[in-house]
A and B are shown apart, each in its own frame.
Chain A
Amino acid sequence: MIYHTLLFALAAVFALWAVMARKLLVSAIMLALVSVCVSLIFFDFGAPWAGVFELSVCAGLITVLFVGAVSLIRAEDEKRPENRARFYALPFAAAIFAIAAWFYLPAFVEELAAGAKIGSGGGSIGRALWGMRRPDLLGQVLMLAAGVFVIKSVFPRRTQSK
């Protein structure tokens, strides 16, 4: 239980750090650490497939994309830095939210949990993905195709005008 809660707390701390960091590169690395914590939470819950996807795609691929984009705009960002005053207020705002949530959230969450219908817990991820949720896979392929088309349309091939 302590390990489980510690991972959640670490994810919250790294998220706060990612937002508060002055340098965008530090923000990207902290975001990767949030992903690592989230994937460890998935493993702890007994969801290894989601953990592997989270670790390889979110902590790996997305971090590479962020670092690439940050390295492009870093010089400009350091030349004209953003106003940091609003970010310095974040710990205080988060503390106020945390205190308010400590008193008001548990009752709401326990009411939600009381309405949960307990499932059988059987089956395998293969059956869930390939048997019962096959239309989702079509949706995922179409989603990836949509992403490729967006990037293709954002960066069209330059044609020389005659």
Chain B
Amino acid sequence: MNIFSLDWYLIAIIMFVGFYCMLASRSIVRQLIGLEIISKAAMLTVISAGALSNNLIYAQALLITMIVIEVVVVATGLALLVKNFRLHGSADIWTLSSLKG
């Protein structure tokens, strides 16, 4: 197994852990932690592919965009968590449906 394959093998394991977290938990915080882990794996994939194809500059520009989107998604998710917690006293993701107008 060459170094590129080994990188992607470990990235696949990180992504599996993130997916498992999102599937197994009903807590909004753990759902967001799982999403973060998947997003880290996606970022590693982009930078590894950029290094492989000698396009690190464009990979970095794409990563900066991904980081901005990640922050907005996490901030929005945590804002929904706080709102849900104030209304229901629970961090259960199934109670989010009661936030609809």
SS class of chain B's interface: helix, strand, loop or mixed? helix
Q: Is the CB of A119 within 8 A of B54?
A: yes
Q: Is the CB of B57 within 8 A of A34?
A: no
| Contact pick for B3, options A1, A69, A102, CB 8 Å | A1
Give the number of residues in B that approach A within 8 Å (Cβ atoms).
70
Query: A54–B16 Cα gap in the complex (Å)?
Result: 21
Chain B residue contacts of A5, Cβ below 8 A: 3, 6-7, 10
Q: Is the CB of A15 within 8 A of B72?
A: no
B49 to A, closest residue via Cβ: A116
A116 to B, closest residue via Cβ: B53
| Contact pick for B63, options A19, A50, A106, CB 8 Å | A50
Given the known interface contacts A121-B54, A129-B64, the answer about A18 and B82 at a Cβ–Cβ threshold of 8 Å is no
Given the known interface contacts A98-B13, A106-B1, A147-B72, the answer about A41 and B47 at a Cβ–Cβ threshold of 8 Å is yes
Q: Is the CB of B80 within 8 A of A54?
A: no
Query: A127–B29 Cα gap in the complex (Å)?
Result: 38
